[in-house]
Chain A
Amino acid sequence: RKEVEQDPGPFNVPEGATVAFNCTYSNSASQSFFWYRQDCRKEPKLLMSVYSSGNEDGRFTAQLNRASQYISLLIRDSKLSDSATYLCVVTLNAGNNRKLIWGLGTSLAVNP
């Protein structure tokens, strides 16, 4: 099992739709969680940190479920500009080593 797995894409949705991505992680000791957005051939940019209590930023809501070891990202009222690849990131301390583990990303295409 991969350390971090994301929903396979691509997701094709019409403008205004609500879309949800999930990301599961295998190590229960994982400590921090993030969603990044990456546009084609650009560097990843932080979209949201994911907190245990869940957090919302405008049309975006992120949630963490430690018991089931997954994080989710919900996008409401999709815009054309939301089209991108969404990457989840999990951080983990492993002894003296620190690891950031990235999912492969889920591609979203919002269509007019």
Chain B
Amino acid sequence: DAGVTQSPTHLIKTRGQQVTLRCSPISGHKSVSWYQQVLGQGPQFIFQYYEKEERGRGNFPDRFSARQFPNYSSELNVNALLLGDSALYLCASLASGIYNEQFFGPGTRLTVL
């Protein structure tokens, strides 16, 4: 099992651009969560998807959106990038529900210039 995979590993964008980050959960896991982690801080919850439906949303602007596909992989989209969006974006895979252990991918490091 490859575990949770994310792509790309690193990304550099400029202000105003749009970015799409991808995540594939552990085989058999139906839930994916997205987090933003700024250097030196804990992860901030962005979204949770379960069975292709949004089940949770953190305090992020509408520039952030996500979706989950029938194979349970997920994309996180961020529009109109700001310098403050520079962070490590983590995807977590859950077997079911929100209370189970989350398995994190290696993350995508986004730099906005």
Interface residues of A (CB under 8 A from B): 31-32, 34, 42-46, 49, 87, 91, 97-105
Contact at A46–B45, with CB atoms within 8 Å?
A: no
A108 to chain B, nearest CB (A): 15
Provide the residues of chain A in CB contact with B42, threshold 8 Å.
87, 102-105
Which residues of the partner chain B approach A44 to less than 8 Å between Cβ atoms?
43, 90, 104
B57 contact set on A, CB distance < 8 A: 97
Chain B: interface size category = 20 to 34
Q: What's the Cα separation between A34 and B33 when bound, in Å?
A: 16
Whole-angstrom distance between the alpha carbons of A43 and B35 in the complex? 11
Stretch at the interface among B13-21, B60-68, B70-78, B95-103: B95-103
- Kindly report which residue of chain B lies nearest to residue A107, judged by CB atoms: B40
